Amino acid sequence: MADIDSARTAFDRFDVDGDGFITAAEYKSVMAQLGDFNVTESVAEALINKQDKNDDHKLSWDEFWANLNKA
């Protein structure tokens, strides 16, 4: 099981605008800041959509946390 405090810190880092969701653009931007320039907008969208359970094209905290705790 993932550590909720570390997971929340990671989620908050990617939720750049603080609206409670991670978008593909936010994900791509943060990955670039971390030095990974290979994450394109389409790659970010695919990663978000894979975990996005309600198909709103953004990742909520609940979706993020659920994905970290898959058995």
Per-residue pLDDT of the chain (71 residues; tens, 9 = 90+): 569 999 999 999 999 999 999 999 999 999 999 999 999 999 999 999 999 999 999 999 999 999 998 75
- Which CATH number is 35's domain given? 1.10.238.10
Angle at 54 between CA 12 and CA 20, to 5 degrees: 20
Q: Which domain holds residue 22?
A: 4-68
The number of folded domains in the chain is 1
H-helix segments, 1-71: 4-14, 24-33, 41-51, 61-68
Residue 55 falls in which region: left (phi positive, over 0), alpha (psi -120 to 50) or beta: left
Nearest to 59 by CA among 24, 21, 25: 21
Contacting residues for 11 by C-beta, under 8 A, at least 6 apart: 22, 61, 64, 65
Predicted local confidence at residue 8, as pLDDT: 96
